[in-house]
Structure 1
Amino acid sequence: MKQVEIISGGPELLDIVEPLWAKLNEYHKKRSTHFSHKFEQLTFEKRKQNLLKEACDVTINLIVDQTNNAYVGYCICTVNKEKQGEIDSLFIENEYRKYGLGAELINRSITWLENYQAQTIVIGVSEGNEHALDFYQKFGFYKRRYILERE
């Protein structure tokens, strides 16, 4: 197993996330059948502003490879004033995905949200990334509704 450490913090860690978020955004852009243009238009600065505007609190978990001091994954989790929790963004570099790090990030997020007494916890999955649904089901997340958007 790789030598990794998970660092936790708040909005002060957002700028560190940017290069990894850009990779996730590019992934969504390539996988999306109908909305790749939305990912092309989305910038990290816009995403960051939306997160900070809508959330009462933010937690960020960053995975650091200790052998090369590189950030290789993250999870952003928020809760709003209605106490709705959301796992907003999750990304792990390909070569680190086989070590259970995604599960660790999800479990930390759920624990944080439960400690915050979130009334609901949601995860949005982008069109084109449906294979992630099986992963999230392992943590008790299921499809509740479909929201369709006109191109």
Structure 2
Amino acid sequence: MKLKYEVLPDEKIECCREICNELMAFQKSKSYITPELFDNMNFETRLIPSINNAVHNYTVVVKDDDQIVGYVYSNISPKEAYSNEFATFFDLSSVNRDHVGCLSQFYIKEEYRQYGIGSKLFHMSMDWIKQFDDVEDYFIYVSNGNTNALEFYKRKGFTVSHDILDGFITVLRSKREIGCNH
């Protein structure tokens, strides 16, 4: 296994089409609450609109030789982007700033799990998100049935905030740690 981590510019996002669609199929396979909602979720309906609605995007792919075996997509977006025809993901009044950070998509092929890839991608993503001083609220959305992901994020310091869509998605939240002013 020869792993390489590569930050992708937005204009190269097309190479994530297959792995993004694999994530959607994986989420559907785990889902026990309205799994049919995943039928219309794919690269075109999830990743592309998210990139277009964000102010800043950060995508990292993991390659074994030239094959993409995992990725993480994070963004900085206006908080209003999370209230749309699909759902309202959090109480907008609970966010003081104009923008939020979101670890939006995260997937590693099964045979590559348990090698620390997830932790490395998570830390790369959070380091990127935390560089934006005007963002103090960080969100992750976990689909129902994906207990391993939920526990992973909780171990990384995120706490369950609430469920939306009758439990279809669990919202996890973390806040920027405010340090002392010097």
TM-score of the aligned structures, taking structure 1 as reference length: 0.90
In the alignment, what sits opposite 1:46? 45
The residue that corresponds to 1:99 in the other structure is: 115
Q: CA deviation at 1:65?
A: 0.7
- Aligned pairs (5 A) from 1:76-91: 76-81=73-78, 82-91=98-107
DSSP 3-state at the match of 2:161:
coil
* Among candidates 146, 159, 178, match of residue 142 of structure 1: 159
Is 1:123 equivalent to 2:149 in the alignment? no
1-structure distance, mates of 2:167, 2:156? 30
The CA distance in 2 between the partners of 1:75 and 1:138, in whole Å, is: 18
Give ranges in structure 1 of 5+ residues lacking alignment.
none
Quick one: which amino acid aligns to residue 87 of structure 1? L
3-state secondary structure, aligned to 2:164: coil
Structure 2, gaps ≥5 residues long: 79-97, 169-182
Match of 1:16 in 2: 15
Three-state SS of the structure 1 residue aligned to 2:129 is helix
Partner of 1:31: 30
Number of aligned residues? 148
User: What is the CA distance between 1:31 and its match in structure 2?
Assistant: 1.5
Identity across matched positions, percent: 25
Structure 1's 116 and 10: CA in aligned 2 closer, same or farther, altered over 3 A?
Answer: farther
Distance 1:43 1:110 in 2: 24
1:73 aligns with 2:89: no
Write 1 or 2 for the structure with the bigger share of strand: 2
Compute the RMSD of aligned alpha carbons.
Answer: 1.7
**SS at structure 1 position matched to 2:130:** helix
Q: Distance in 2 between matches of 1:129 and 1:138?
A: 15
**Following the alignment from structure 1 to structure 2, what is the Cα–Cα distance between the partners of residues 89 and 71?**
15
Cα offset for 1:146? 2.0
Higher Cα Rg, which structure:
2
Tell me how far apart the structure 2 counterparts of residues 119 and 13 of structure 1 sit (CA, whole Å): 29
Secondary structure of the corresponding residue to residue 145 of structure 1: strand
Shift of 1:141: 0.7
Q: Structure 1 stretches (4+) deviating beyond 3 angstroms?
A: 148-151
Report which stretch shifted further, 56-65 or 130-139: 130-139
